[in-house]
Structure 1
């Protein structure tokens, strides 16, 4: 099991890298497509702020991931973590190949749930239904993830829609040179979005590594070691710099033509949504949030100019991520578990 533990930690770090070019690239999409920044400058800003977010973003999201599954010793927890990461990393690469801004977060959650159900049954998942229906309702486990997934998407779409209608009204008599001020604001909102994304996304991998350390007997309680935080922060930034151009093209150009004001409205509510989720300790998908915000801005600007077919493809990818990765992880557990004697 020592070997499985080391491989799982290495895979978690590799997944953080793919998370960089999958999720973080979505942040730079509207910023660069609106010509508010050159590709090089935009990516460097996003990578740098994501790194800072990962270092200073706390651990609330990591502990939500830790509490999602509960498997008795000997039931194959290490293998569950391993197959979840294999599944999520593979899903990241496949969706990146097709330029689909899918969710690294939900592929990892789907992998954890699918593997855990096969390993230890449905009761191994902290669904959160009982806590929500109790005398003092509390959002925990899968229900917390699900509720914030829906809320973050609604806030992203509706908030961006209303904000763009408002800015469009306020700017109706302004001269085009005012775009320079908006470009400056875009640097601020992109930096905030990248920071909060860095504060939220790498914590999922930190939580996975904390679970591996406990399952392998390297730690008594699930804590996030300092080396894990720094490693995940660095790999997230490197992943952002090294890839993600296909996804940037999908979000930045294929849905509708984005101008600086569109980028600002989209980034503003995306940052607010992810910041709220991070404070609440909810692992949300920045890709989904910013995709919905781009659709919201496009709908507010001119629904006829929006390529709804592309938006529909993205939403379908969102909807199928968790069930498909659950299925893949479950099958992988059945295949791998006998090989390692668990």
Structure 2
């Protein structure tokens, strides 16, 4: 069990928990945890499958090989990837009422899950992370005003390692996408020079590198994605009185690891086609460039405790590689869709989760 003993929720002033009050709280807690697990599964086919997209599209692995390998390493990342992201996410609410915390988290997950399923159905490279952050903000503000969200504005001018709260989350969401684009572009420029006189047989070595790069990217993807739900589950257990401190129990970590792997195995094909085929014709070297730049970005974000979007990082890195190769051959429409997604996801899920909160409170 990983825990942060410094974070606690105070009971709402004047609230005395009777038997009648405990039952609905526990019911909401159970439903929220189940929904968090379901959201983890949708994360598997919404975000995690993008990890295998360039790997498979480049011919470095067959679809079966690529998906099975990525699913397996996602599992390892969720188990051994730490809890820094989980604690960042669980510290975004400042609400002191336990029942209200549970209602906010339930509404946020409902909104994010609905967005995830819609994006998957239409093959839209949307972000589970953006949807979840938007859901938390929208439901939190609807529940108790803007003061219910820990913005971290006071720490904005502090040293980078001290930046926290929603400011930290939003900064990393933007910076990680820029790094994905720039990293892919720089990597392709470097490898073009490095391999300018190489023979076609170099692809054998590049394919081997792709397996290692894909595994590294899958590990940090599993670590970052699973921790988002683990942070919510830890907060739910604390608010429901099932845990004395904010902690990530192993049973929750193991369940999330299994579900994100099963999601990757079962549903990522639509998103994979978008990333792997619609941007430009990907060869092994392009996959290597994209995977290395994306993996480094995901790794740094996870170590820093920042929830980021794997889908957006990987997509932007592929666009960066394509732009460095030949801008005329890039399917810029995917980039346009991604920008539209970035603009729409958070405000739409904010409104949706705010509306859902009022429905949850009336059930």
How many Å apart are 1:336 and its aligned residue?
2.1
Structure-2 residue corresponding to 1:304? 328
CA distance in 2, matches of 1:73, 1:143: 23
Structure-2 residue corresponding to 1:56? 80
Match of 1:161 among 168, 185, 192: 185
The alignment's TM-score, normalised by the length of structure 2, stands at 0.91
CA distance in 1, matches of 2:162, 2:344: 27
Deviations 1:168-187 (A, max 9, x none): 12212211121111111100
How many Å apart are 1:135 and its aligned residue?
9.2
CA distance in 2, matches of 1:189, 1:324: 34
Structure-1 residue corresponding to 2:263? 239
Contact residue 47 and residue 237 of structure 1 kept, 8 A: yes
Contact residue 131 and residue 137 of structure 1 kept, 8 A: no
Structure-2 residue corresponding to 1:248? 272
How many Å apart are 1:290 and its aligned residue?
0.4
| Structure 2: 5+ residue stretches without partners | 1-24
Structure 1, 167-176 or 93-102: larger mean CA deviation: 167-176
1:1-342 matches, within 5 Å, as: 1-73=25-97, 76-133=100-157, 138-339=162-363
Structure 1, 143-152 or 109-118: larger mean CA deviation: 143-152
How many Å apart are 1:67 and its aligned residue?
0.6
DSSP-derived class of the 1:223 partner: strand
Moved over 2 A (4+): 133-138
CA distance in 1, matches of 2:209, 2:159: 45
CA distance in 2, matches of 1:135, 1:29: 36
Deviations 1:57-83 (A, max 9, x none): 110000001111111216611111101
How many Å apart are 1:41 and its aligned residue?
0.3
DSSP-derived class of the 2:281 partner: coil
Contact residue 43 and residue 240 of structure 1 kept, 8 A: yes
CA distance in 1, matches of 2:336, 2:68: 30
Q: What is the aligned-residue RMSD (CA, Å)? A: 1.3
- 1:23–1:134 distance in 2 versus 1, CA, 3 Å: closer
How many Å apart are 1:156 and its aligned residue?
0.9
Deviations 1:237-259 (A, max 9, x none): 01000011000000000111111
- Name the count of aligned residue pairs: 339
Deviations 1:73-108 (A, max 9, x none): 166111111011111111111001111111111111
Contact residue 58 and residue 283 of structure 2 kept, 8 A: yes
Contact residue 15 and residue 85 of structure 1 kept, 8 A: yes
How many Å apart are 1:12 and its aligned residue?
0.4
| Structure 1: 5+ residue stretches without partners | none
Contact residue 75 and residue 120 of structure 1 kept, 8 A: no
DSSP-derived class of the 1:76 partner: helix
CA distance in 1, matches of 2:90, 2:138: 15
CA distance in 1, matches of 2:301, 2:161: 18
Contact residue 75 and residue 119 of structure 1 kept, 8 A: no
DSSP-derived class of the 1:284 partner: coil
- 1:136–1:168 distance in 2 versus 1, CA, 3 Å: closer
How many Å apart are 1:338 and its aligned residue?
2.1
CA distance in 1, matches of 2:202, 2:98: 64
DSSP-derived class of the 2:248 partner: coil
